[in-house]
Structure 1
Amino acid sequence: MAIADLDLPEQKKAKYQATWERQLVREVCPRHILKGLSGELVARRFDRDEALLKLSDGRLAEVHLTWARGEEPDPAWSATSLFDTLEEWASQSMMEHHREWIT
């Protein structure tokens, strides 16, 4: 679901976004593909701890957060897939997730 579409007051929506964005920064280790990049939460899959973030370099990252209290030691976590455009993400990831959801 797009964060913009959440049925929350704007202040709560902003707090929700900030929580996910801080958690991403908390989890990534120095060898993680997202280290040094910031991201803005744009969508969330509510049946899993997955988020879609627009990165500071313009790409999109689909990230599965672990909600660790600190840095993950393994750069494979938080699991991340990168996409150059929203269309690329939709065709390469969203459609498959949608098929899983409806079956």
Structure 2
Amino acid sequence: MDDDVFISGELDSWPSKSEMADLLRGAGFSVNVGTYSIHLDDCEHFVFQEYGGDISTPTIDADGSSLDKMLYDGTRVSSALSASDIRHRFEIYNSDGDMVGYLHHQWPLPADPAEPKNFEWLSPWWSTENQDEQFHSGFKNELEAEVCTDHPLHGIETRLVARGNGDDALFELLDGSGRHAVVHLTWARHPEPLPWPATEIYNSFNSFVNDRMIPEHYQIDT
């Protein structure tokens, strides 16, 4: 259990309070609209505050009893905002002040590290950081053996970052692009015909987290 996990959030442009309430209801939330707030009843604690009138720019007050819960609530709200094309970002912090998650729509981090400090993986994904060189080279060599000349990863240096379900593996592409790829290896040990090995490429580590790891963990349809 993680104490005091919270979100520091920002919207580029805020809809009116009634518009926000409507889009949240449309996404399946139960909302309680106050004079200057919108409270999401089915989240552990998620409130849009100072909302309405000429008080100030609205703020987000959101926290949870665990990282899992905060990620779940934050992802649902982020998905609702994204569906309405509202540019936003949610930084998720633990009680030590470390950013342990990042959700956004069209607002990537200025510098997207391969893996943020103290990043907490969600099952089925787990970091291979503590595995030895032989473990990493085994996956790297197998990937190189399987990709044919027409495969999008052919000729690109990679680094194994994490493992997922079955033969799924996450590789960082070392071409300066910041991209990451989830590859389902076949372990054939020879070039495979397309589309094998099945590959999904993400523009950044955060894109992998938002579009693959979190939805897979919570089995959220995207």
Q: TM-score, normalised by structure 1?
A: 0.83
5 Å-filtered alignment, 1:45-60, equals: 45=164, 47-57=165-175, 58-60=178-180
Q: Where has structure 1 moved over 2 Å in runs of 4 or more?
A: none
Q: TM-score, normalised by structure 2?
A: 0.40
- Counterpart among 62, 76, 96 of residue 195 in structure 2: 76
Structure 2, unmatched stretches of 5+, are 1-125
Provide the secondary structure at the position in 1 that maps to 2:171: strand
Q: Which structure shows the bigger proportion of residues in strand conformation?
A: 2
Counterpart for residue 38 of structure 1: 157
> How far does the alpha carbon of each residue in 1:5-40 deviate from its partner, in whole angstroms, 9 at most, with x for none?
x4x5xxxx1110000000000000111110111110
> How far does the alpha carbon of each residue in 1:44-64 deviate from its partner, in whole angstroms, 9 at most, with x for none?
11x410110111123101110
Distance 1:38 1:49 in 2: 20
Over the aligned positions, Cα root-mean-square deviation in angstroms equals: 1.3
Q: Which structure shows the bigger proportion of residues in helix conformation?
A: 1
5 Å-filtered alignment, 1:1-103, equals: 1-4=126-129, 6=130, 13-45=132-164, 47-57=165-175, 58-73=178-193, 75-100=194-219
Aligned length in residues = 92
Deviates more, 1:24-33 or 1:89-98: 89-98
Distance 2:210 2:217 in 1: 11
> Relative contact order: is structure 1 or structure 2 higher (C-alpha 8 Å, sep ≥ 6)?
1
TM-superposed deviation, 1:69: 2.3
Structure 1, unmatched stretches of 5+, are none
